Amino acid sequence: MIHRTWLSTALVLALIPMGAQADSLAQIIQDGSVHGVIRSYYFNELYGAPKIDNQDAYSLGGILTAQTGSLDGFRVGISFFTANSLGTHGNNSSHVDTTLMGIAPSINALGQAYLQYKLPKRFLLRVGNQIINTPWMGPRDSRMLPQTFQGIFLQTEPVRRLQMEGMRIFRWKSRTSDNYSRDNLYYPTNYDEDAMYGVKKVGLGDDTPASNGTLAFGLKYHYQGAKVAAWYYNFYQFAKMFYGSAQYGLRVGAFTPYLAGQFLREWENNGILQNYHASLFGQKGTVNSTLWGVKAGIRIPHANLFFAYNALTPHADSFGGGAIVSPYGNYTAMYASFMTDNLLAFGPGHVWRLGGMFRAWQKQIRFIAGYAQFDTNYDGKTNGVYLDLTYFPKQLQGLSIRDRVAIDNGLAAYKGHSFIYNRLMLQYAF
């Protein structure tokens, strides 16, 4: 697999000089750019329940991205990803937060390698290994490395304010993998030698057919204070999904009250999860999910306050009793979710959340806080608190120091005890 990735990269890079004059080649190199991030992350999970080991993990690494200048709209981009535990993990995975970078001492990967063609504001075509950001397929960039996708991505704006996106994804690279694979988060760790962690343990084995990837289309439109979006995803062999959202905000002086709604419908019969008897929350069957939510809030100078509600409908004789199937793990599209608490993890039920974001000290301080209450079919009732403090020092542009804490109380999986998840994240972007 590694040699195929490097071969494809070499072929992409070879396209640039073909037919180009020496001065054009020099110009696209001169107009190119190099940027990246350096990260130092320490994660700590504390379980109040007896017989559950506390976990932690440390990693130092980052991302280095190089992109050529434009030649008649064409560019080439590559990104090198690296994460290193510096000998802090040991060999016992039960004491390691493997979602940070897995259990291996290091990850080194060619995270992006793509050829891009772009016309300003109207058309973008990107082919190769790349970061993609949509509601239910995205980088999930809250760990050392983002997840990336191998395929074709198209974006166009046929008329003003209307944006259309489409993609055909063949493989992906998880946040803890060093190469691209034909799997997703429902496959077991080390499926086809993919050292992937943070998986959904649903009972699929090594004999499960490889994933055929994803086809997706989306429409986004905005006009004044209104925003609407609609997406169709075909997670081949796993689920088909429709997702829509709408929001309207009315500016009144310095204040902007807003109201938003979202709806998700998902289905699949005789797919991998059903045919291979996968089970979530002890429930097997077809994929059959229905989610809806509302959000109301107000944006004021240096702050955003909101109330959110989501409901995931239970369905009999279905996978997870009506659970959302999200092969790439995105949960942030749901209004009433945060770092550890969301209906993607808990399954059918409902939740309400109060939250807010505040900026202070000339925007050098950002504080996010939230409280949520869940009533779920399979994990019972629980509540959670989320606190998130980030410092952006003006003396060193690009540096951010962020501390995130989530506290769960009463979740059935933790036998009614509290669970505390703390993430200290230092990042320097250059």
d(CA 270, CA 89): 41
- CA distances to 37, 164, 365 from 392, rounded to whole Å, are 15, 34, 6
What's the topology of domain 1-223?
Porin (2.40.160)
d(CA 386, CA 408): 9
Q: Which residues contact 239 (CB under 8 A, 6 or more apart)?
A: 233, 266, 267, 268, 271, 273, 287, 289, 325, 327
Q: In tens digits, what is the pLDDT along the chain, a chain of 430 residues? A: 444 444 444 444 454 444 445 666 777 778 899 999 999 999 999 987 777 889 999 999 999 999 999 998 999 999 999 999 999 987 677 899 999 999 999 999 999 999 999 998 789 999 999 999 999 999 999 999 999 999 999 999 999 999 999 999 999 999 999 999 999 999 999 999 999 999 999 999 999 999 999 999 999 999 999 999 999 999 999 999 999 999 999 999 999 999 999 999 999 999 999 999 999 999 999 999 999 999 999 999 999 999 999 999 999 999 999 999 999 999 999 999 998 899 999 999 999 999 999 999 999 999 999 999 999 999 889 999 999 999 999 999 999 999 999 998 876 666 667 889 999 999 999 9
Stated as kind and residue range, the H or E segment containing 290 is strand 287-300
Three-class DSSP category at 12: helix
d(CA 74, CA 68): 9
Structure tokens at 130: 């790349």
Q: Which residues contact 424 (CB under 8 A, 6 or more apart)?
A: 41, 42, 43, 44, 402, 403
| In the chain, where the domains are located | 1-223
Q: pTM of this prediction? A: 0.91
Stated as kind and residue range, the H or E segment containing 261 is strand 256-268
